Amino acid sequence: MAGSGDNISEAKFLTIAEVAAQMRVSKMTVYRLVHSGELPAVRVGRSFRVTERDVNNYLERSFYDAG
């Protein structure tokens, strides 16, 4: 989840489709990240929501320095 000490009521939750659009990948790729545990998500009914902060943290951890 979002880092400790964060106020969850202020978190911005994104749908899988919004995360996929932001990362420019398919929805299936985002589902794989969620199911593997690489990208934390909250299950709401039959759908998932991901905090914007968790998306940003994932992208920062995954950045590849080719130089």
Which residue carries 């299936």 as its tokens?
Answer: 28
> Which architecture, in CATH terms, is 8-62?
Orthogonal Bundle (1.10)
- The sign of the dihedral angle between the CA atoms of 18, 19, 24, 26 is negative
Residues 19-36: pLDDT tens digits? 999 999 999 999 999 999
Q: Where are the domains of the chain?
A: 8-62
The CA angle 53-54-57, to the nearest 5 degrees, is: 85
Q: What confidence score (pLDDT) does residue 40 get?
A: 97
What's the mean pLDDT when you consider all of the chain?
90
